[in-house]
Structure 1
């Protein structure tokens, strides 16, 4: 499971060989592995928490920001949540072999388009040990093998979790190489992993904007890009303020260290005097610091001046930028200019304004009167997620089982030749 630089290619080759076995597993066997893994994770939660405490201690010693510590931290409730994600993935319909299209051509050939695995998937991620189990569950259920490259900040947790997943595979008579962990902290190993085109079919980075940029700029393997989350909420002139405040509080403060947390607020000028004092009081109660443009600052006495960079920032902290807009057109233009294409929301009771926002904001997930925190595979009914794709090729938004598949065409004839 652990690696040295010279071992990377060998590990990828093992994953490639294992892929041939995993692709042929029936749904019943895959589900049995996932349920066994869920059982073992709960049974060995004490061991997991001990390793996680070691990671947290090291993170605090290295002055890791609170938002990243929150991403890193596990407790028994979160471990049970991870196990429940595995159970939910097991309960989902197996996508492999699904017939997408079927038709006959005038030539006599009969064509069937079916869903197939991608093959070997590499996941490069930071901080969040739950990704270890989520990524395995989704990749395995969709017939893929997975190679995990977590960050050094979660090394102890990831080693422990991967060991338990391999234990579940072995217990069900399935190759342990369905999941592998590159446990090296050497950046050279990561760089070498990015060159494994031919052994690894696709890479999915999850983490900071810097990590994602590094992978997309240096990988020789095709990349599905997951994006940072500068999520916006626009409070329209026709908003119900009693709805708006709880939505903002939830989106900003439920978990600050996640990509679907709100980072930026846009407020229609017509409701500033009524809305912003209530916002200021609510944010103060939840420890959120405001960075405001000049018009809104007049109603937000505790705020600091916002810069243009604030409107583009993924804080992962108790900070919220506030921008005013004179119209929905101005709000949409600002959001499309400054966001990361992840998740954005309008709060309004005006159905025409809502439909315009939903139609014109260019994000993977666009909300009306609901918190951006719902951008999540579990909440979307996927059991778990491999990440939130903010690109437009292959997959967009929360990626579940179907997003980890490709297709192939099966063509049948009866001595048929082309004329």
Structure 2
């Protein structure tokens, strides 16, 4: 074999290795629409919104009611390996990751700890603990806890997860606003493909339903008002009368593995789900206004990474924040890549905008779409914006028995774009 041919063969082999799919062997989540599959699916496929009205009353400011999606979750009951007090978001992260590991069947000794990594995203980790601390310090003149820094630091959840699972591989926190957890998941996929680790516990969380943070988002004028008598209709992605998003909270975790590792330890093969593609980039044009061109580049790069064409995607889980500028930019970018040939849904209408944790929760929704062979409707989308030439799923869920690839978008303040492609039976 000539050196040129040998080089081509090696290059092709390296390319195939880099594009290899990664198994999803476990899911766990704490969301406003449920902590287990049955209630999550019921809300997802029947467009049942968890958005409710919550009063925001801060001394010196006018009272206001905001639309939010709250989790029914007792964070005080969660205990950690560090034995430190936990921020609500970190408690959610631990709960979701424990459920994902249990579903994946990860047990002590089944994974080389040096080959196990933690990749986690959150836009404002420790928000609740920080809000509580500042209120105690400045409002009540109480002393600071000596554990405050450890509770609010951006990698608090990563550290607790590493302790929980004895992970000695890479343990990295990602903070890219609303793309944080999608970036964390994609980078973990790259680490597994690259052979740096065999298994990763990945995902993200956010718990920002605290007075200071809610007031900050309200001040930006991007949050939806809570309609009197029908707060669950507040968030209306892609609608002609969209008025902003409803803040949510929650966490979602996935166990990712190389296919070889999953098979070697006997992971469940009943419903093989994979991550097939990922891309991230930056618009580098504006701190808040999204640029369709950057989103187009990201979606096309993710398709190349998965080795598929646009029309092999059977469903798009849109970022769909229900903001005027955000939905317009995303509708334009989706149309540029896919035309109106691929059905589009947006799930923030039912679980709220979970910000840095949203990409992980929405990937769970995409994986449930694959597993069920059904496309979820976009809640509250009665009259789409006439400027958007897309095939929106609305009203009832659609059957999609032969669904094989789904794409999930996460687009963030700061211009970070992250696109994940999930698959059923990819590469088999």
Query: What is the TM-score of this pair, normalised by structure 2?
Result: 0.24
Higher helix share: 1
Query: What is the TM-score of this pair, normalised by structure 1?
Result: 0.24
